[in-house]
Structure 1
């Protein structure tokens, strides 16, 4: 029976490693889902909106089909011990030993090997100090402006209900990359006479109140921001 548990651990490892190896597919599925929502929220010409929505829906369905196929293959891999156990496989899978075997194999797949060559490049996420999940979240929000604008309007409406009033006076700080605009901005905010968003508000820069519910940046060691 111990041999069956070992086989179940190995098959679970293979199934989850396959899922990890196809992380770019999961990224595409997430991005295309938001793209469909972005198309629905678009306020452009109806014909243009419909064409864009149809294209986004087609890409989403293709990604969804590929994802379901991936899950099916993964389930087949986990079911490999059934070839040897027969009817006893279900009892093995539902036993505490079977659950431990599946958990152990699945956990190992996310740590061994530490890196998978080509996964980052295939997902369209470049080398960065930000994690792949951070980059994915940025692409999901910043590449789909209608979703972002809808979140901004919702936040502004709630802010006005709480008595908020817009202040028309503002100061633009702009310039070329590495020209010192960030330093100037921080010095102006430090005076107390100005308020500004900062990089901690990314990627929900237009809805900072909503983002603050999920992300509260600490005051750790400052790191130089990457420039592309």
Structure 2
């Protein structure tokens, strides 16, 4: 019995050493340094000199980190051995007896299980804390998949070669394209439409090879990937898992129109930007999603904020497509854009993989990656992006563009979704010729008023935005607008 008690003290000493020396953090930093060097090697956006410098810096840091781990490990072992030899010195229990006990299989299993339970009890993850869900292996696979555009295009060709037969006989159906500026409510609409019969789209399970969903679903099946439902990094309270819908079609736009993604802005697309090859790839992708998620039937559903830059081109590329544009109160929308910009500035500074992930999937709205869409009349240099007026001016320019193409869009007012969600969504689905079944649309949308501090904005700019909002609201779908402009 004495040997057992001494062994528990030794285990406690080892655990205390781990906690006190911070060896776990040192190991995590060493892994992060290794990932940084690997990420630089696989980053097509860096020059050879930049890659070499980054790898050299990471190598030096890794060597220093290895030394830090080594002395901490020695300290942990010493903390475990000290009580054992003190007990022997005091005549309580021979050290050999304690070591023999601690090397027994039943002892190792029992103590390990007890420690796991204790750690779980005292260090459970906060369910309200955003989690990335991307471990080291996932990050490596992502970096490999996005190390250059050739990898994603090769995946498309490989899938078409070996699995192209799967989409033969699948009918083309017009896609439903949900867009707006970010923070407009597009994710809630995506979730609501995705749960209707006959709608198909990408999910997080398709990453990182979203360009080859059929092929990747087969290759990744043995991995049995599972990620617990967790909060999005956006801090908006929405939870996601691997099976949550998230259209990744911006990856395709970046592959076939790389020249559009300039360092300071993203110009608008026009009908002259149409590319037959890209249109064919998109149409095949729509049918692949129908096979993967709809048993061979289904309309592709896209939630892509950047499509607001393509209102001229989309009807040319996809005749009869349904373009849904979310319209949110401009003051509340601009304030939310500013908050999200500041949120991602922090996230990307704390973890460079967040920046890289967002860049790879084309989410260039916020943080270090922010590249405004080149709407007519918007001057990015006129305001500081960390001020409300920058985002309000951006909102005005964006929705002037929407107003010019309103006849080709289904305008969906967020205020209507908050006040009369079922009637509004039923009207939208009728216009899109989507069967709704018996879905409860109210469960997808907040019912609280969308208000913000209007005093934070320039009064003249806000008046201009309010006037534009009122004009566009006349076109919004829903029974409350049925007697107005259409």
Q: Could you tell me the TM-score, scaled by structure 1's length? A: 0.63
Q: State the Cα deviation string for residues 90-128 of structure 1 (Å, max 9, x = none).
A: 32332357536753674466257x259xxx9xxxxxx76
Gaps of 5+ in 1: 121-126
CA distance in structure 2 between the aligned counterparts of 1:175 and 1:139, rounded to whole angstroms = 32
Q: Structure 1's 80 and 39: CA in aligned 2 closer, same or farther, altered over 3 A?
A: same
2:8 maps to 9
Q: Is the 8 A contact 1:141 1:147 kept in 2?
A: no
Query: How far does residue 15 in structure 1 lie from its aligned partner after superposition?
Result: 1.6
Q: Structure 1's 136 and 7: CA in aligned 2 closer, same or farther, altered over 3 A?
A: farther
Q: Secondary structure at the match of 1:137?
A: coil
Query: How far does residue 57 in structure 1 lie from its aligned partner after superposition?
Result: 1.9
Query: How far does residue 225 in structure 1 lie from its aligned partner after superposition?
Result: 1.6
CA distance in structure 2 between the aligned counterparts of 1:157 and 1:79, rounded to whole angstroms = 59
Q: Secondary structure at the match of 1:206?
A: coil
CA distance in structure 2 between the aligned counterparts of 1:70 and 1:109, rounded to whole angstroms = 23
Q: State the Cα deviation string for residues 1-23 of structure 1 (Å, max 9, x = none).
A: x2221121122123234435634
1:92 maps to 101
Q: Structure 1's 6 and 81: CA in aligned 2 closer, same or farther, altered over 3 A?
A: same
Query: How far does residue 37 in structure 1 lie from its aligned partner after superposition?
Result: 1.7
2:179 maps to 173
1:37 maps to 38
2:60 maps to 58
1:162 maps to 162
Query: How far does residue 224 in structure 1 lie from its aligned partner after superposition?
Result: 3.6
Work out whether 1:27 is the aligned partner of 2:31: no
Q: Structure 1's 135 and 94: CA in aligned 2 closer, same or farther, altered over 3 A?
A: same
Q: Is the 8 A contact 1:12 1:105 kept in 2?
A: no
CA distance in structure 2 between the aligned counterparts of 1:35 and 1:115, rounded to whole angstroms = 27
Where relative contact order (Cα < 8 A, 6+ residues apart) is larger, the structure is 1
CA distance in structure 1 between the aligned counterparts of 2:138 and 2:8, rounded to whole angstroms = 38
Gaps of 5+ in 2: 89-93, 211-215, 230-235, 240-339, 344-486
Q: Structure 1's 57 and 159: CA in aligned 2 closer, same or farther, altered over 3 A?
A: farther
1:215 maps to 225
1:103 maps to 112
Query: How far does residue 138 in structure 1 lie from its aligned partner after superposition?
Result: 6.5
The structure with the larger Rg is 2
Higher strand share: 2
Q: State the Cα deviation string for residues 120-154 of structure 1 (Å, max 9, x = none).
A: 9xxxxxx76357xx447379867997445149648
CA distance in structure 2 between the aligned counterparts of 1:97 and 1:80, rounded to whole angstroms = 23
Q: Secondary structure at the match of 1:162?
A: helix
Structure 1 residues 140-149 or 5-14, which shifts more?
Answer: 140-149
Q: Structure 1's 66 and 159: CA in aligned 2 closer, same or farther, altered over 3 A?
A: farther
Query: How far does residue 49 in structure 1 lie from its aligned partner after superposition?
Result: 0.8
CA distance in structure 1 between the aligned counterparts of 2:31 and 2:237, rounded to whole angstroms = 29
Q: Structure 1's 147 and 174: CA in aligned 2 closer, same or farther, altered over 3 A?
A: farther
1:123 maps to none
Q: Is the 8 A contact 2:14 2:77 kept in 1?
A: yes
CA distance in structure 2 between the aligned counterparts of 1:14 and 1:207, rounded to whole angstroms = 46
Q: Could you tell me the TM-score, scaled by structure 2's length? A: 0.34
Q: Is the 8 A contact 1:29 1:60 kept in 2?
A: yes
Q: Is the 8 A contact 1:19 1:74 kept in 2?
A: yes
Q: Secondary structure at the match of 2:188?
A: helix
CA distance in structure 1 between the aligned counterparts of 2:3 and 2:29, rounded to whole angstroms = 36
Q: Is the 8 A contact 1:8 1:102 kept in 2?
A: no
Q: Is the 8 A contact 2:141 2:208 kept in 1?
A: no
CA distance in structure 2 between the aligned counterparts of 1:72 and 1:158, rounded to whole angstroms = 50
